């Protein structure tokens, strides 16, 4: 029986966490709404410093900038340079904090908008009830921009809440090794998992005789692997056959020919070698027979 030592936070291991592909759409919407909120609240601050809306406007602009520059780059590491800083535990914590910050800033902005809308009918500091129409129109536009920013801030809170729950669920599956890999991808931290691809190399001949003859195998095989020759190509890379033996024997019978000139013959027995066993049919045996027949005179013949 083996004993295991428990280490604090050992269960929160790091690594690429596969998540659904549609979560990248959530990240894109988060970035888009953050840019829109910065533009809307920038106009509100430009008009008389935002007046009563200055504090909540600055707060929400701050969280929007943090979302674009820190939270999204560290939680969605798609580019190669982002992968060096990505960690799923950090991404989960940042999503959770972003969710809380967007909730707080949206609630603050909405409460200040309610206070400002109720103060339009109040007289000014000089006791004059008639308010400049241009001032009132400009302030109304700044107020409308604040309302739109509050609505988009609420949408940002919902997007980050959904993203946090989805990522926390898939991180739990990642820790328990039960994540459904077939329906997910890996957009955070690393590229999608590699698949085994068969690379094709140059033609490889498996027979040395075919290589010497300059005949290459037309079949292709994966790099570094031996392969069986396809039946359709066996005739192409078949071993080169040896040269055929001469058609006729170089040995001649004893006795004179028609022209009175005798041909040298071997002293070997007819149809066999010196041992009297094997027939002389191949070229090597014929050459040996010629060497043996040359030094000896043939009986009844003319050298």
Q: Can you spell out the DSSP letters for 221-268?
A: -BTT---PPPGGGTTTSPPPPPPPPPSS-S---SS--TTS-PPP--SS
The overall pTM is greater than 0.85:
no
On the question of pLDDT at 197 being above 50, the answer is yes
**Angle, CA 198 vertex, CA 196 and CA 201 arms, to 5°:** 150
Any alpha helices (H) in 119-204, and if so which ranges?
A: 133-175
**Angle, CA 204 vertex, CA 198 and CA 207 arms, to 5°:** 140
Q: What is the mean pLDDT of residues 202-221?
A: 56
**Phi, psi for residue 161 in degrees, rounded to 5:** -65, -45
Handedness of CA 127, 133, 135, 139 (dihedral sign): positive
Using CA atoms, how far apart are residues 213 and 12, in angstroms rounded to an integer? 63
Using CA atoms, how far apart are residues 100 and 200, in angstroms rounded to an integer? 54
| Span between the terminal Cα atoms of the chain, in Å | 99
On the question of pLDDT at 289 being above 80, the answer is no
Q: Is 127 left (phi over 0), alpha (psi -120 to 50) or beta?
A: left
19 SS3 class: strand
Are the beta carbons of 47 and 134 closer than 8 angstroms? Answer: no
Domain ranges of the chain: 23-118+133-183, 200-242, 252-303
Confidence of residue 105 (pLDDT cuts 50, 70, 90): very high
Using CA atoms, how far apart are residues 40 and 180, in angstroms rounded to an integer? 41
**Higher pLDDT pick, 273 / 64:** 64
**Higher pLDDT pick, 278 / 84:** 84
pLDDT digits (tens, 9 = 90+) for 51-72: 667 888 889 999 999 999 999 9
């Amino acid at each position: 029986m083996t004993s295991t030592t428990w280490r604090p936070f050992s269960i929160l291991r790091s690594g690429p966490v596969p998540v659904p592909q549609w979560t990248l759409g959530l990240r894109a919407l988060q970035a888009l709404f953050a840019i829109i909120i910065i533009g809307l609240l920038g106009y509100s601050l430009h008009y008389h410093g935002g007046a009563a809306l200055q504090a909540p406007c600055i707060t929400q602009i701050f969280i929007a900038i943090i979302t674009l520059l820190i939270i999204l780059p560290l939680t969605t590491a798609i580019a190669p340079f982002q992968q060096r800083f990505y960690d799923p535990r950090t991404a989960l914590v940042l999503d959770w904090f972003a969710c809380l910050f967007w909730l707080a800033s949206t609630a603050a902005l909405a409460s200040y908008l309610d206070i400002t809308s109720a103060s339009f009918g109040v007289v000014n500091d000089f006791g004059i009830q008639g308010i400049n129409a241009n001032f009132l129109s400009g302030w109304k536009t700044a107020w409308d921009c604040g309302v739109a920013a509050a609505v988009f801030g609420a949408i940002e809170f919902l997007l980050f809440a959904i993203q946090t729950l989805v990522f926390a669920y898939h991180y739990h599956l990642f820790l328990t090794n039960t994540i459904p890999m077939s329906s997910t991808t890996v957009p955070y931290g690393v590229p999608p998992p590699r698949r085994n691809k068969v690379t094709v190399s140059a033609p490889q001949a498996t027979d040395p005789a075919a290589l010497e003859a300059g005949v290459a195998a037309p079949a292709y095989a994966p790099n570094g692997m031996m392969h069986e020759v396809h039946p359709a190509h066996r005739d192409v890379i078949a071993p080169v056959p040896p040269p055929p033996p001469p058609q006729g024997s170089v040995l001649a019978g004893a006795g004179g020919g028609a022209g009175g000139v005798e041909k040298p013959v071997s002293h070997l027995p007819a149809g066999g070698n010196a041992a009297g066993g094997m027939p002389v049919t191949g070229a090597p045996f014929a050459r040996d027979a010629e060497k043996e027949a040359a030094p000896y005179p043939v009986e009844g013949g003319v050298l």
